[in-house]
Amino acid sequence: MRKLHLFEDRQSIVKTMPNKLVQNLNKQGLLYGSEQKVMFCGLINFDDQIAVFLPRNSNYVKVDESSTKKVCATLLKALRRYLDGKDNAISADELVDEGIHGQEYLGLIFSLFEDYFNNGLFTRRISQRKVNSGKVDWNRTIKQSIPYMSGESSVYLELAGSIKRVYSNCETAKIHAEVLRNLDQKVGWLINDDDGVVTKQLIDVPVSSMNNDAKLYHLNNELTRAYSDRDIYLIKQLISYLKLESISQKSDFSIGVKRFEGMWEHMLLKALKNVFPVNKKLAKPVYQINGELKLASRKGQRTDIVLRDPETKDFTVIDAKYYSAKSLETVPGWPDLVKQFFYAKAVKSIYPENNVSNMFIFPGMGGPIDSAHMAEPNRATIQKENLLNEYPAITCHYLDPINLITIFVESKIVELMSVLNKR
């Protein structure tokens, strides 16, 4: 098992970080703030070691090796689900550059392991012709054999048959086993429950003597002979993996996202009950161009998350903010506040009979920020009576990122208040 380092996104570079890891982060453009802080959530393989960066404010304490590995594996599974969902996105607004690293590699890792655990090692099925053995092929028997008459019946002394044999020591199986052992050694110990389970099961399969180009040539030929859906899928995955290895030609790799804000919002949206699709009902801007009024539907309002209570029918407009939210310097700014004030007003304009409240949700086990308000700027000390009623309060809550990731991976749907952390 490789040495595993655990850090957080937006964390300052500390002395405990290996120098080669810092160099790797810098080379990939994952440092900011005079290159003193990390902006990355995911996994980085370097110098035969692995560093996993959890979401900011995770405050995860290493309990034991097993639980630490489980947390890292859950993050990778969440990244896979999120990135797979982005591939299927049809809204242009969803296709934002988030600084994605290693998406194809991540997909290949999971698909190759899942295929192996479901179907086993690649096998070649060969049908061998036999005489008086195996399943009888009557068409071939009648064409090739001389019948003997017995009464009114024809008797064939030589029956053409076939026996289907399965071979798992072919070149494709060797390549398949070699790829799986390679992945198992790199990240399998982190993803699979049993350390080195794949390597143990494939220890007796010989290593292919071909170089990478020869393997690709062989697999492309094998693909022309494949007929089952599984074989075709597997061979294509092996080809993709070998091509990726050929391009990189290095053992270091990274899997994750540079800007985790989009995933933070997406996971929360997928995890909460009573999400109400209000965006299509919100007013859209109209521009008069050359005397003609034109609707700019793509420029319209788009809230993060709106919940509607099934009993009271009241609304909560939520903005999933991936902020530290530990001081005045690390809370949302004026543009974020304006957006929330306006969205609450927009929802209220459509449903005037219902109450509409506002909320920020930050990552963390808890924090000092209770709510956001507006007040006149000419007061040294602010009292509650100084707050402006024209701007309704925005309540602030914290949600444990590890808890949200687990809920997202398990495809659970939960009540909002059941997952929020109190101060």
Separation CA 356–CA 343 (nearest Å): 10
Tell the burial category of 278 from Cβ atoms under 10 Å away from its Cβ (0-12, 13-18, 19+).
buried
Specify if 67 maps to a domain.
Answer: no
pLDDT of residue 159: 64
Specify if 372 maps to a domain.
Answer: yes
Same domain for 385 and 316: yes
Same domain for 405 and 281: yes
Specify if 115 maps to a domain.
Answer: yes
Separation CA 80–CA 246 (nearest Å): 23
Specify if 93 maps to a domain.
Answer: yes
pLDDT of residue 95: 45
pLDDT of residue 398: 97
pLDDT of residue 93: 46
pLDDT of residue 361: 97
Two tokens, residue 386: 């100084």
Same domain for 416 and 272: yes
Same domain for 224 and 186: yes
Regions of the chain short of the pLDDT cut 50: 90-95
First-to-final CA distance of the chain: 38
pLDDT of residue 91: 44
Separation CA 281–CA 279 (nearest Å): 5
Last residue of a domain, one of 212, 229, 257: 257
Specify if 71 maps to a domain.
Answer: no
Last residue of a domain, one of 216, 248, 280: 248
Same domain for 236 and 202: yes
pLDDT of residue 90: 43
Number of domains in the chain: 4
CA angle at 297 for the pair 292 and 299, rounded to the nearest 5°: 105
Q: Which amino acid would we find at residue 188?
A: G
Domain coverage including residue 32: 3-62+79-100+253-257
336 CA to centre of own chain: 27
Q: Is the dihedral of CA 75, 76, 79, 85 positive or negative?
A: negative
Last residue of a domain, one of 257, 275, 294: 257
Same domain for 227 and 373: no
Same domain for 307 and 236: no
Same domain for 181 and 56: no
Specify if 369 maps to a domain.
Answer: yes
Same domain for 322 and 274: yes
Same domain for 411 and 268: yes
pLDDT of residue 6: 93
Partnered with residue 370 across adjacent β-strands are: none
Specify if 73 maps to a domain.
Answer: no
pLDDT of residue 356: 95
Same domain for 89 and 25: yes
At residue 161, the 3 state secondary structure works out as strand
Q: 58, 8 in Cβ contact below 8 A?
A: yes
Specify if 31 maps to a domain.
Answer: yes
Same domain for 352 and 336: yes
> C-alpha dihedral over 174, 176, 182, 185, to 10 degrees?
-100
